[in-house]
């Protein structure tokens, strides 16, 4: 519902030039930012936005009994009303094209317009999933070229391109691990997930039917290697580890972890959501990783979601490659990377594949954007991407550690994201209050309360695409709000004050969401 009018005192001048107070009614508008009602409040379901001639006599029914029997219930608006409505709503949104997006653990970086231009080229933009394979050989070649780069950059043996998102890719990797274990008659039931792993990791393992157990973190925020070794046994199928982890730290013992897991007969799954921090510098395959999903929208600068299904390719080690879903790209004995479309092409035996992840192969828009990004940077450019991402995160960490609690700053540099906690805030003020205050400063809040190992966590990832001037502007805003939280500024409890809407009751909104609009007059 739109915000109600507000009544208050407004200063004015009388005829003699003296100040006086008058009662004024406020509309909820702020300068050129008009308060926008719901589309149902603007238009009426009883009207249309265009004039149409009377319909002729009913023609023969061609809908086979599926014609609409009740009014559709959509409001009728004119074209100017419709355009203004959605344009005004878009101005109330925050986007990467407006400013820095500091979400930690969920890379949100600039998507170059070159990527978009290539994705819209005829032959890519209009590919249909039901086209005969013979008509899309060029598209398949593009996908295979991207697959080649993913294999080279990760040092892995093969890659499944069909998963549609990161969590979908996690499931793909775990299903590969399960298929490999079943092939050798080894029924293992437990997947280990460190405290510093992404939250989707244990959810994915449980969804695949495994029991999930935690592995504690050290005081430095990294996996406790000795605790992991102590838990490994014949019942452990895999370890799901995030590296760099969600504390923004590189797991220095990664190779030792992989060696211990393999010695116990299990597999290593690495969450690749943070690959942007190490791309071009570290190859997960060299660290003993068996499976890793790659979020193309995080590392290779394609939009989140991509206007449809996303894309989370999964790279696999030689031990797991035979079990990957079809279609599949793998490195054969001659060292050449081949696209495998059928179970057995002669070049690569894929008869042990666990099947298919999806009905259709992949999202062409995501593939073309990612490959464009990779080719425009090259290997050296991608290495600079990770270096600049790490540099920017450490600049934020060191610029704010004197005012915000940085629990792991003493142990050395962070990777691509800096983590802070709420230690030192005045009583009654929380991370949520700081985040709401940051909205008044013109920035989207950072990731809050994650990871759970840091109290009142604030996870900030600037990415490599932000300039020093942009970082300084963000640092100044965050420092200002942090100082207010430390000083006990009570106004933070009711922030934001300048946003189109005031603070919601987030608990009530989550437990009792109102998902459909209804006319109050009809209740």
* pLDDT tens digits for range 326-346: 777 877 666 656 665 554 555
Angstrom distance (rounded) from CA 395 to CA 445: 18
Query: What confidence category does residue 7 fall into, taking pLDDT thresholds of 50, 70 and 90?
Result: very low
Q: How far apart are CA 277 and CA 354, in angstroms?
A: 31
For 279-313, how does the pLDDT look when each residue is reduced to its tens digit (9 = 90+)?
999 999 999 999 999 999 999 998 876 666 789 99
For residue 311, give every residue at least 6 positions away whose Cβ sits within 8 Å of its Cβ, in sequence order, or none: 161, 163, 164, 165, 295, 296, 297, 302, 362, 363, 366, 367, 370
Do 338 and 389 have their domain in common? no
In a domain, 53, yes or no: no
What pLDDT is attached to residue 217? 92
pLDDT tens-digit map of 104-162: 888 888 999 999 999 999 888 888 888 888 888 888 889 889 999 999 999 999 999 99
Is it the case that residue 246 has pLDDT exceeding 50? yes
Rounded average pLDDT over 82-86:
93
Kindly state the average pLDDT of the residues 410-434. 96
Element (H, E) at 21: strand 19-26
- In angstroms, the CA 102 to CA 446 distance is 5
Mean pLDDT of the 171-187 span:
96
Check whether 319 has a pLDDT greater than 90.
yes
* Same-domain pairing of 338 and 402: no
pTM across the whole model: 0.88
Cβ–Cβ < 8 Å for 220, 408: yes
Q: For residue 274, give the nearest of 103, 443, 466 by alpha carbon.
A: 103
Q: Are residues 164 and 274 in the same domain?
A: yes
pLDDT, tens digit (0-9, with 9 covering 90-100), for 353-396: 888 888 887 788 999 999 999 999 999 999 999 999 999 999 99
Would residue 75 count as lying in a domain? no
Band of pLDDT at residue 3, cut at 50, 70 and 90: very low
- Check pLDDT > 90 for residue 519: no
CB atoms within 10 A of CB 12: 11
pLDDT over threshold 90, residue 8? no
Specify the 3-state DSSP secondary structure of 77: coil
Specify whether 250 is located in the same domain as 198: yes
Residue range of the domain that includes 337: 115-370
Tokens of residue 245, six digits: 């982890």
Handedness of CA 316, 318, 323, 325 (dihedral sign): positive
Residue at 483 is within a domain: yes
Per the structure, how many domains does the chain have? 2
Task: For 159, list phi and psi in degrees, rounded to 5.
Answer: -150, 135
- Using one digit for the tens of pLDDT, what is the confidence trace for 464-517? 999 999 999 999 999 999 999 999 999 999 999 988 888 888 889 889 998 887
On whether residue 73 sits in a domain, the answer given is: no
- Among residues 370, 396, 429, which one ends one of the domains? 370
Beta bridge partners of 458: 420, 448
Question: Is the pLDDT reported for residue 1 higher than 50?
Answer: no
Which pair of tokens denotes residue 233? 């046994």
Using an 8 Å Cβ cutoff, are 172 and 163 in contact?
Answer: yes
| Alpha-carbon torsion (370, 375, 381, 382), positive or negative | positive
């Amino acid at each position: 519902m739109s915000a109600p009018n507000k009544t208050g005192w407004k200063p004015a001048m009388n005829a003699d030039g003296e100040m006086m107070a008058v009662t004024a009614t406020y509309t909820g508008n702020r300068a050129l930012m008009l308060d926008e009602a719901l589309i149902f409040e603007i238009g009426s379901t009883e009207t249309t936005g265009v004039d149409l001639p009377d319909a002729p006599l009913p023609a023969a029914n061609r809908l086979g009994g599926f014609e609409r029997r009740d009014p559709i219930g959509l409001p009728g608006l004119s074209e100017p009303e419709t355009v203004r409505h959605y344009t005004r709503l878009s101005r109330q949104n925050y986007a990467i094209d407006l400013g820095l997006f500091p979400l930690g653990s969920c890379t949100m970086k600039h998507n170059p317009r070159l990527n978009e231009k290539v994705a819209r080229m005829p032959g890519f933009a209009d590919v249909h999933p039901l086209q005969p394979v013979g008509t899309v050989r060029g598209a398949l070649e593009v996908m295979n070229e991207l697959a080649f780069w993913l294999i080279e950059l990760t040092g892995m043996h093969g890659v499944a391109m069909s998963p549609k998102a990161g969590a979908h890719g996690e499931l793909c990797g775990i299903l590969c691990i399960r298929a490999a274990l079943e092939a050798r008659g080894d029924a293992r039931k437990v997947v280990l997930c460190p405290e510093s792993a992404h939250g989707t990791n244990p959810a994915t393992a449980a969804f695949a039917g495994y029991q999930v157990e935690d592995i504690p973190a050290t005081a430095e925020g990294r996996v406790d290697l000795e605790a992991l070794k102590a838990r490994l046994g014949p019942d452990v199928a895999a370890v799901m580890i995030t590296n760099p982890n969600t504390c923004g730290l590189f797991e220095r013992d990664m190779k030792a972890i992989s060696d211990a897991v393999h010695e116990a007969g299990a597999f290593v799954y690495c969450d690749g959501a943070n690959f942007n921090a190490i791309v071009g510098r570290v190859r997960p395959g060299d660290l003993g990783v068996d499976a890793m999903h790659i979020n193309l929208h995080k590392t290779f600068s394609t939009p989140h979601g991509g206007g449809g299904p996303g894309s989370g390719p999964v790279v696999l080690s030689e031990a797991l490659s035979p079990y990957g879903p079809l279609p599949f790209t793998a490195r054969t004995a001659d060292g050449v990377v081949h696209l495998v479309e059928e179970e057995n092409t002669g070049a690569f035996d894929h008869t042990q594949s666990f099947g298919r992840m999806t009905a259709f192969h992949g999202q062409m828009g995501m593939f073309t954007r990612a490959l464009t990004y990779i080719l425009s940077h090259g290997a050296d450019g991608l290495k600079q991407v990770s270096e600049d991402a790490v540099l920017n995160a450490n600049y934020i960490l060191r610029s704010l550690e004197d005012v915000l609690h940085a629990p792991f700053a003493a142990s050395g540099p962070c990777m691509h994201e800096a983590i802070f906690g709420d230690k030192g805030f005045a009583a009654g003020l929380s991370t949520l209050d700081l985040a709401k205050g940051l909205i008044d400063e013109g920035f989207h809040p950072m990731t809050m309360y994650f990871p759970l190992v840091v109290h009142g966590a604030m996870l900030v990832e600037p990415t490599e695409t932000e300039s020093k001037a942009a970082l300084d502007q963000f640092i100044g805003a965050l420092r200002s709000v942090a100082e207010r939280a430390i000083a006990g500024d009570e106004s933070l409890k009711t922030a934001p004050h300048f946003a189109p809407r005031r603070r919601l009751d987030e608990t009530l909104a989550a437990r009792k969401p109102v998902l459909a609009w209804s006319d109050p007059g009809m209740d």
